[in-house]
Amino acid sequence: MGERAVSVLGLGWMGAALANTLVREGHDVTVWNRTAHKARPLEGRAHVARTVRAAVEASDVIFVCLLNYEASDELLREADVAAALSGKTLVQFSSGTPARAREAGEWARRHGLSYLDCTMSAGPQHVGSALGTFYYAGALEVFESVREVITPLVGTSTYCGEELGYAAALDFAHLGAFTGLMTVLGSVVALLDAEGVALEDFLPTVSFLDREFLEGVVEAISEERYPSGRAALTTWKAWADQFVSSARDAGVDDGVARLVRDSLAVAVERGHGGEDIYAVFSAFSPSR
Ligand code: NAP
């Protein structure tokens, strides 16, 4: 495989995993992160850019992996950065709504850059492994032009077609189902707690859910153990803000999305922002 110059903007959980995998694959990697110390583990293996513009100028392929599209727009839409992006390929890994993905594609077209929207059905522990799936939306020739760079990132790289909102819609459906389930489980477990019913008695009644998954959930709740996750609850909350927007943009009822977002917000307010998604249960039980 030929070495490519690739820049990664954002070195949170996922951005750092992407950058490390690119380095491992022998690419010429440049990184930038708002909080500079997160680039230290990559020093000596990757170039560390002092500015976004310098990171963009260093490579023809730019990966963006920030909290959300708002953070990304703030950086990339500065006039000098937008000018430096012209003629390059931007792969957007930050979560965003289908509408924002479409708008970003239009912005990219106007500014002369190629654009792919990626959603990651994977955690940082899967990046660089044979597990997990990344979904890509955008022009086929753009996908093909970076295929050799993106293929080793995760077990499966799925091209969804030219409709730029497609991968994002899939992501909101998948994660909406997951976070919705976690929120409902938080609510019913609080009810069981309040009524003094043992969680062990609850398990066999939920035969429609995977037993191993459910046992993991119940164990975390009963031990009140919400370990520091590989996706912080604050990141989930930022995702859920967009879950609400995606429902509204699509003209569908946003009730479930608001419930998920509000539950996550309460859990963050209660001090669980750095913890695992399981900490959403704390929203339903003040004692937790
Ligand atoms: P994270 O660990 O919270 O990192 C967030 C990154 O965004 C950091 O680099 C942070 O910089 C940067 N950032 C936030 N606001 C910014 C701003 N206003 N200006 C500049 N930089 C800003 O998040 P993550 O887990 O890596 O997730 C990144 C994206 O991937 C999110 O959109 C998330 O929804 C998505 N995702 C995550 C997972 C997962 O398992 N973690 C899985 C699938 C998708 P600082 O370091 O300076 O704060």
The pLDDT confidence band at residue 219, using thresholds 50, 70 and 90, is confident
- What is the distance of C-alpha 103 from the center of its chain? 19
Residue-wise pLDDT tens digits, 11-46: 999 999 999 999 999 999 999 999 999 999 999 999
232 lines ligand 1 (CB under 6 A): yes
User: How far is CA 185 from each of CA 103, 136, 173, 191, 227, rounded to the nearest angstrom?
Assistant: 35, 31, 18, 10, 18
Question: Can you give the pTM of this predicted structure?
Answer: 0.95
Residue (of 181, 175, 180, 177) closest to 120 by Cα position: 175
H/E run at residue 82: helix 79-85
Q: Is the CB of 14 inside a 6 Å radius of any atom of ligand 1? A: yes
- Residue with the smallest CA separation from ligand 1 atom 42 is 123
pLDDT at 1 over 60: no
Query: Mind listing the domains of the chain with CATH numbers?
Result: 5-163 (3.40.50.720), 168-284 (1.10.1040.10)
CA of 12 to the centre of ligand 1 (A): 5
Distance 8 CA to ligand 1 centre (A): 12
98 CB less than 6 Å from ligand 1? no
Pocket perturbation via mutation, ligand 1, pick of 33, 40, 53, 67 by most ligand atoms within 8 A of CB: 67
What phi and psi, each to the nearest 5 degrees, are found at residue 157? -115, 115
Tell me the per-residue pLDDT of 49-98, one tens digit each, with 9 for 90 and over: 999 999 999 999 999 999 999 999 999 999 999 999 999 999 999 999 99
Q: How far apart are CA 273 and CA 268, in angstroms?
A: 4
Atom of ligand 1 nearest to the CA of 10: 9
